[in-house]
Chain A
Amino acid sequence: DTAVSQTPKYLVTQMGNDKSIKCEQNLGHDTMYWYKQDSKKFLKIMFSYNNKELIINETVPNRFSPKSPDKAHLNLHINSLELGDSAVYFCASSQDRREWGYTFGSGTRLTVV
């Protein structure tokens, strides 16, 4: 049983297209996150949702729109893809206790050409 699963694992698309990445967790966690990892491996939070409510939005362009239909799912939709969006996107989940850390998905490698 995969705890946090993302699909697809790889995504290659052309500039200007719209794409979505899906994430599901079966851990019963209350909070889910999207992180972006750039080519230098630096990780930066993009969004967090708690029980379907947007909590953190870290100065991400409006082209990125998260959607949480229920607390087990957090999807990321990206409009008008740009070359600079190429990165690995990680979904994660946690309970609302700071000392428990996060459980990460295996990542989606997005390549915009």
Chain B
Amino acid sequence: GNSVTQMEGPVTLSEEAFLTINCTYTATGYPSLFWYVQYPGEGLQLLLKATKADDKGSNKGFEATYRKETTSFHLEKGSVQVSDSAVYFCALSETWAGANSKLTFGKGITLSVRP
């Protein structure tokens, strides 16, 4: 079945540091890939997405590139802020569209940014 593997956390960085959060996946066909963010006490928000190989998703200074050859979708940000402290989830949606599609999530990683 489909699966998403995220690097182990938590991650603690100083403000303005460079961020990389690794994500690899296993899926049949060509899934869509997503990063979701969960701020403390809130639900999940879509951060960015990519729907085919070599697509780059970007939002709020975050970027991730869909790499089919390495089955990866690593999240990066050049300069993190305290407000980026949250839990980050990598996810994939199965190849076929329709009502049977579901999002499969990685375990999530907690990011804490120090002032």
Binding site for B on A (CB under 8 A): 4, 30-31, 33, 40-45, 48, 50-51, 53, 55-56, 90, 92, 94, 96-99, 101-107
Contact = CB atoms under 8 A, between A and B. Distances in A.
Interface string B38-65: 1000111110010100000000000000
Contacts of B42: 106-107
A97 B43 contact: no
7 contacts: A42-B107, A43-B89, A92-B103, A98-B32, A101-B46, A101-B103, A104-B43
Given A98-B31, A98-B96, A99-B93, A41 B102 contact: no
Nearest to A4: B43
A46 B94 CA distance: 16
B107 A40 contact: yes
Nearest to A31: B99
Contacts of A106: 42-43
Interface residues of B, number: 30
Contact of A41 (B94, B96, B108): B108
Given A33-B102, A43-B89, A48-B99, A98 B107 contact: no
Given A41-B87, A96-B97, A98-B95, A56 B102 contact: yes
Contacts of B34: 101
A98 B98 CA distance: 7
Contacts of A31: 99
Contacts of B44: 43, 90, 92, 102, 104
A99 B110 CA distance: 25
